[in-house]
Amino acid sequence: MTLDTVKIGLVSISDRASQGVYQDQGIPSLREWLSKALENTLEFVEVLIPDEQADIESALIKLADDDQCALICTTGGTGPAKRDVTPEATLAIAHREMPGFGEQMRQISLHFVPTAILSRQVAVIRSNSLIINLPGQPKAIAETLEGLKDEHGKSIVKGIFAAVPYCIDLIGGPYMETRDSVVKAFRPKSAIRPK
Ligand SMILES: Nc1ncnc2c1ncn2[C@@H]1O[C@H](COP(=O)(O)OP(=O)(O)OP(=O)(O)O)[C@@H](O)[C@H]1O
Ligand SMILES: Nc1nc2c(c(=O)[nH]1)N[C@H]1C(S)=C(S)[C@@H](COP(=O)(O)O)O[C@H]1N2
């Protein structure tokens, strides 16, 4: 079976990276982890913007409605600081909320940092796109998507990505295959397509 190409939007939200104060590591970290985790051919649409609610909303609308990305990952701007507005922007353009993702990401992150509860990250659906907020620390991207493994590679805490392919099936997106050594997608037996 030939796998579908998957279009993925990557949005890095950082005042300083967008001004060139430091080099953006958000988009490269997202691209690297997703390319490692997925067997499908991936087509990325990438945006680097400051923490401005209007800019974030229009970037998300364009990626969902015009580019038709099945998955959109944001990084940054989820904390309690005044300029952190990523969750507000995401909720403002959402059609439906998916609260399980935010709940699980905060649980996972508590295994890494006690400040995990400061992230207000959300996940939502807009039409056929799943949009997920990830924290801004570049290392938080793999932590929340993949979870935590012991020294033998055995999963201690499951990352949220295990649930992403089936969610995308259910909203009418492409069938995504993961590499089990990175993350094993879970689907009910009836939804698994033979390789
Ligand atoms: N896009 C990025 N590229 C590289 N490092 C980043 C990026 N975003 C955040 N970081 C790092 O993670 C830390 C926490 O991220 P946070 O989103 O809270 O940044 P911030 O303090 O709001 O600043 P800014 O929006 O200017 O990146 C930052 O201080 C920075 O060290
Ligand atoms: N996995 C993980 N989650 C994390 C962190 C981290 O380093 N790793 N940092 C926390 C911190 S310090 C903050 S303030 C919040 C919000 O980060 P953001 O504003 O960069 O999105 O994410 C939290 N979640």
Please choose from 14, 85, 113, 143 the residue to mutate so as to test ligand 1's pocket, defined by most ligand atoms within 8 A of CB: 14
Q: State the residue range of the domain holding 139.
A: 6-191
Whether ipTM > 0.90 holds is yes
CA distance 193 to 189: 9
Pocket test of ligand 1: the residue of 15, 49, 137 to mutate, having most ligand atoms within 8 Å of its CB, is 137
CA–CA distances in Å: residue 133 to residues 151, 166, 173:
28, 18, 19
Q: Where are the beta strands (DSSP E) in 52-109?
A: 71-75, 96-97
| pLDDT tens-place string over residues 12-22 | 999 999 999 99
Determine, yes or no, domain membership for 1.
Answer: no
**Residue 108: inside a domain, yes or no?**
yes
- Look at ligand 1, atom 15, and give the residue with the nearest C-alpha: 136
Query: Which residues, 6+ apart, have CB-to-CB distance to 118 below 8 Å?
Result: 79, 80
Let me know if residue 65 belongs to a domain: yes
CB-ligand 1 contact for 26 (6 Å cutoff): yes
Q: What is the rounded CA–CA span in Å between residue 74 and residue 51? A: 12
pLDDT band at 60 (very low <50, low <70, confident <90, very high): very high
- How many domains does the chain fold into? 1
List own/partner pairs for 112-116 with CB under 8 A and 24 or more apart.
Answer: 112/140, 112/143, 112/148
Candidate from 113-117, 156-160, 170-174 with smallest mean pLDDT: 156-160
| pLDDT the model gives residue 154 | 87
pTM of the model: 0.97
Of 139, 137, 134, the C-alpha closest to 120 is 134
Residue 83's domain is classified under what CATH number? 3.40.980.10
